[in-house]
Structure 1
Amino acid sequence: MSRATIVVIEDDPVFQSLLQQYLANLDFTVIAASTGEEGLRLCRESEPDIVLCDLMLPDINGLQVIEQLLGDASDAPIIVISASEEMSDIREAVRLGAWDYLVKPVNDLHVLDFAIENCLHRHHLEQSYESEVWELDDHIDVIYQDDAMIDRLSQELVPSGPLQVGDYRFSQQQLDPLSRGLWIEYRPLLDGQVLVIIASVNAPAEQKLLPLLVLKTLIDPLIRQHLAGTDHTILYPEQLLTHVNLELCHSKIRSAFDVVCGIVKTQQHEWCWAQAGDKIVSSSEGKPDLALGIWQHAQYRTHRAFLPPHSHLQLKLDSAELVIDRA
């Protein structure tokens, strides 16, 4: 049984053949096109689950393909694979609605499989969320009828335990262990840096889980790209929030998110962060910006603070707190 149908729009015959063979071996159904117009026609005919698209095509460029696909009301996730490393191209592709962007040469094709799975997972979550919103009154959303599934998904949104990196200890505490309305993350990055996130969504209690999982799937690829050395947006809080806000405004998730995301530089003893929304209380001073998912043109600022020895930083949200301690 096919995992999903993928349309590949790529004019390089060697790379196109490589993608076809690799994806077919992973049990995907692959349909290939060498031009933008042919790709658009195949997308209309086959209604794929994922579209892989190059930017440099012989007839129309990939940005026009993305625009026309969305104009056709297609909701298939689009992954751009291009040799262009220009930030302007990447920003424009994301602005138009691309879900991910991989830079050629893709030396490790497992990265592509990861990107596809991430997009399929996010797409499923968005469809489930849309179904939940429209059908909640009929109580037919199976996710919330399965406590074991709810618990499993909720566990993806909190760390399994404390984290120690150099002199720094990261921990979290929830006074209400049954609370499922927030996401707490601290993740080691390169060069002794640690990503810190605490987030909540403005939605009824029974509808918070799926939007937060979608938010997580938007940030996970940026962590992967940083660890692979291909993109370091994750290290710049204002860029991260801008990117995620744009994605949320293009998504089917019609909710506002309160988020603090930041980087602890354990070697330089610096805390760099940005804040969207005003519901999170921080022991560091910094004026919050607009919550995510409200306005696609919102702007975000990075704040900085030195972390002296024995410093104690707290981020509080409802009955939970994330704590960063320096020895």
Structure 2
Amino acid sequence: MMKSLLSVRVLALLLAVTTALSAQAQRKARIAVMDFDYATVQSYSSAMFGSNIDVGKGVTDLLIAGLVKNGTYSIIERSALDKIMAEQNFNNSQRADPSSAAKLGKLLGVDAIIVGSVTQFGNETKKTNVGGGGGGWHGYGLGGVGHSKSNANVGLTARIVNVETGEILAIAEGAGTSARSSTSLLGGGGNWSGWGNGAVDFGSSNFQETIIGEATKQAVDTLTASVVSDAPKVAIHKVTVDGLVAAVDGGQIVLNVGKKGGVNVGDQLEVIRVTKEIKDPETGAVIRRLTSTVGVIRATDVDDASAVCSPVSGTGFQTGDRVRSMAQ
């Protein structure tokens, strides 16, 4: 009886370990996040800040930070997205267009891309008596909302888009209302020091201490949770990379495979070296190659036919070493 119980426990333990290892081996869904469109609130934000601040980018920066911290997705680097956008002459008017975003996502090699819009950015009466860009807010100057106190409200919506089909896989929303009220949407904080170069750091404590910053953070947090909960709807595309190290130049490792071979910026690849070939004694054909792992590299720049990588682990990389996808 004791042996039987022990066997059951051992099997249960082995199953749990196997399940855990399998979960760890599964690649995270790889996504990119477009800057949110803010056309519908541009006049309100311009009135608030006194200039055309890109609140869509500010929201996107917060969302990316939240998703990276959560760890459910693998997020493509902003520089890689910016490069593709420049190459494709992508403009701001296309920010919320799923089909255009899907094309960019496909070029980036991501599993899905997120497009979104800022649907509300102001106080509860923001749709009435609001001055135009650069003007006063209810006629009371920059950041003002009048003599009576008001809460700040922010609304966001996002769509997760399949890059292969352009299909909208999920819609996520986020809303935030400041817990405090003030006569200024940029008030409420003790150290608000304004902005420079047409930008506001939405992640700074100074901004988040204002009532509009408080509402923005709440809205993004809600949106982040919704996007994370939709992760199972994103299909992970399995691509097997198989290539060779074509050159080693200082800290750069150049491969003979690129986008067409399934390599994307940010990918980590295993580098192996053939240590011995086993031949069939009868035919002389190679029947097996014994290998050893040299290390792991990460793609930093990729074109159609090649990739430049930097070492993650290991040393002594050589021309002719084989490169392959990390074990799934």
Q: Where on the TM-score scale, by shorter chain, does this alignment land: which range?
A: under 0.3
Of structures 1 and 2, the one scoring higher in RCO (CA 8 A, sep 6+) is 2
Question: TM-score normalised to the size of structure 1?
Answer: 0.23
Larger radius of gyration: 2
Higher helix share: 1
